[in-house]
Amino acid sequence: MLKDKLNAVLKIDRRWIFLALAVVLFGAIMHPLGLISNKISRDTQSAYDFMNKLPAGSFVILSLDYDPATSPELNPQAMAVARHAFSKDLRVGVVTYAAGATALIEKVFSVVPGEFKKEYGRDYVIFPYQPNAVAALTQMASDIYGIYDKDKDGKDARSLPVMKEIKNYKNVSLVVCIAGTSMPDAWVAYAGDKYGVPVIAGVTAISQPGYGPYLQKKQLKGLLGGMKGAAEYEYLIKTPGEGTSGMDALSLAHVMVAALIIVSNIAIVILKYL
Amino acid sequence: MKLIKKYIPLAIVFVFGILTLLTYYVPHKHSVNFLEAMNKWENIVSAFAFFLGLISLFYSHYAKISRKADGWGYSIFVYIGFLAIAVPAYVSHGKNMNGSSLTWLGWAFQYIYNPLSATMFAVLAFYIVSTAYKSFRIKSLQAFVLFVAAMVLILGNVPLGQMIWEKLFGWTSCAISDIVDWILHVPAVAGKRGIMIGIAIGAVVTALKIIFGIERQYLGKD
């Protein structure tokens, strides 16, 4: 009898699992629990500290290379980093090598600069999408305007106040690459290692373990991992956003996965000795 | 014919391969100028490659529709999807916003591409959960090690998991976030570094084989 029941548990129709997950996620989104991580991870803290130490007026390249598929994890990171940069009066140049990112970038920068009374052209600039990342990254080492002579609206980039005295990587204080692709690897290889430009990355949670070697050798000055990284950064800049609110749903979904795995394994062990 | 089809392409690859490689080590003005010229060429060639890819995609789906192959109906959506973004992009001159309002392209992005793409990715979560339940079985020592690491990472990455850990193992005074940090910075790094070094060596060897004409598959069959 028990054996049959346990077998039924193991062979449960997966649509019930889908339904359970949907209920858990929906519940957490509709009624946030306000769960907050009790410790900021070392890599997020390093990223925050590095940017926080930059003097006002420093030029930061924000490479936003994610599309709508990964935006729930990466958009909150981009918002938090942009907020931090503007709060520190840093100049921001936005680039992208992901075609699907352009509209997401415009969405971020239609909200964040206004919160800090920042003006397009004076405090930040958005460059158009470039399909060939390696060529663009190599070109920027000698002359940024060789690849970005115009901004997204076709204005002469050299004439923009935000680009004053910016010619190549020597004038760039930091690159923050938030990507659902392998763009952080390219920034490390072509800008960080070769020209000594500090690089910070923001990646999806699933990609996070792969960047350990770069962090260990300080090729990356910090790393934001998934929605947790976004939530931690939001906590550090004291501006809760989508990352913080998304952590509830993520928490419950994670615990549900853990519980399901444990239940299925307990059932197997019992079956083995029945 | 062999000269045009074989020797000239091999010579081009050899000369430009060696010169581009040298630019990495020669910080001279001519070297930089050469690299800039190559970057421009690369962008132009990429644009042609993109165009060729598009033609190839359309052609293969056209063939599928005309043959009425299995699932040919889905191929129609390749054209619908392309037109749904390409036409607004052309009309809006590639701009997503016009001041504070959305252009046609912005609308297509926000209300077609964005939800479709996000849905595709979100559906993965459901499959991962059901697969974890049905497949994550501890049948060996290796599977047990994987199980323990997975549990620690799952619980350590979210606040609720951290709370559960503290309730169950708080007496050990060992924070789960420290264990997660250790896993990510020690065993994961060791594995990843090995993979990265292997890939890098493979890439260098393949590049050298192409430059020196040992690897010639890119030339085609003739």
The answer to whether A254 contacts B181, with C-beta atoms less than 8 Å apart, is no
Q: Please state, rounded to an integer, the average pLDDT across all residues of chain B.
A: 88
Residue B180 and residue B184: Cα distance in Å, rounded? 6
What is the model's pLDDT at position A3?
A: 82
- Domain membership flag for residue A211: yes
What is the model's pLDDT at position A86?
A: 97
ipTM over 0.85: no
Task: State the nearest Cα–Cα gap between A92 and chain B, in angstroms.
Answer: 20
> Tens of pLDDT along A40-60?
888 999 999 999 999 999 999
* A200 Ramachandran zone, left/alpha/beta (phi>0; psi -120 to 50): beta
Q: Are strands B97-98 and B101-102 parallel, antiparallel or unpaired?
A: antiparallel
Among B residues 201-220, those touching chain A with beta carbons less than 8 Å apart? none
The answer to whether B154 contacts A254, with C-beta atoms less than 8 Å apart, is yes
Return the CATH number at A145.
Answer: 3.40.50
**B59 confidence band (pLDDT: 50, 70, 90):** very high
What is the model's pLDDT at position A243?
A: 86
What is the model's pLDDT at position A38?
A: 66
- Domain membership flag for residue A11: no
- Domain membership flag for residue A120: yes
Residue B34 and residue B22: Cα distance in Å, rounded? 11
Q: Please name the member of A41, A69, A130 whose beta carbon is closest to the beta carbon of B120.
A: A69
Partners of A65 in beta bridges: A179
Q: How many residues does chain A have?
A: 274
Domain ranges of chain B: 1-69
The answer to whether A139 contacts B50, with C-beta atoms less than 8 Å apart, is no
What is the model's pLDDT at position B221?
A: 65
The answer to whether A261 contacts B163, with C-beta atoms less than 8 Å apart, is no
Q: In the predicted model, is pLDDT for residue B114 greater than 90?
A: no
Q: Please name the member of A10, A72, A131 whose beta carbon is closest to the beta carbon of B46.
A: A131
What is the model's pLDDT at position A214?
A: 94
Structural domain for A141, as ranges = 42-243
Number of domains in chain A: 1
Question: What tokens appear for B3 in the block?
Answer: 């000269």
Listed as ranges, residues in chain A with pLDDT below 50 are: none
What is the model's pLDDT at position A96?
A: 96
Identify the closest residue of chain A to B30 by CA–CA distance: A142
- Domain membership flag for residue A273: no
What is the model's pLDDT at position B149?
A: 87
